[in-house]
Amino acid sequence: MRAAAEPAQLDRMFFALADFHRRGMIDRLSRGPASVSDLAGPLGIALPSAVKHLAVLERGGLVASEKVGRVRTYRVEPRALDTMETWVARRKKLLNAQFDRLEAYLASQANKSSRR
C-alpha cells in the first residue's frame, strides 16, 4: 500500500499542473529527459520563464533534475503520476460504489411496485 501524499504536496502538485505550458513540459518530458532550452523552444517561451515553470514543477514533485557538467537535465518523476493515478482511482471507486447502491435501491423499488 502506497503512503498517501501529504496535503501540502498534493496542493503543489495540482497547482503545478494548472498551467498549459507546464503541462506541455510534462508531455515533452514523458517522451524523454530534456534540458531547459529543449523545453523552452518548442513551447515558444523564453528561457527565464521556462526555468520558473520548471521550478514550480519540481516543487510539485512532478519533475526531477540533475546537473551534468554545465547542463541541467529534467525528467518526469514517475511517483507523482502514480500519486495522481491513485488519487483519482480512489474517488472513482467511491463514486461507482455510490452509483451501484443507487441502482440497487432503484431495482428494489421497482420490485416492490411490481409486487403490488
Which is closer to a second copy, CB of 13 or CB of 40?
Answer: 13
3-state secondary structure (DSSP) of residue 2: coil
Query: How many other CB atoms sit within 10 Å of the CB of residue 26?
Result: 18
φ, ψ (nearest 5 deg) of residue 32 = 150, 155
Q: How far is the CB of 88 from a second copy (least distance, A)?
A: 5
Interacting residues with a second copy (CB under 8 A): 7-8, 10-15, 17-20, 23, 26-27, 30-32, 76, 78, 81-82, 84-85, 88-92, 94-95, 98
All three cell numbers of 45:
517561451
CA nearest to 23, candidates 102, 111, 95, 84: 84
Which is closer to a second copy, CB of 5 or CB of 36?
Answer: 5
Q: How far is the CB of 19 from a second copy (least distance, A)?
A: 6
Q: How far is the CB of 115 from a second copy (least distance, A)?
A: 28
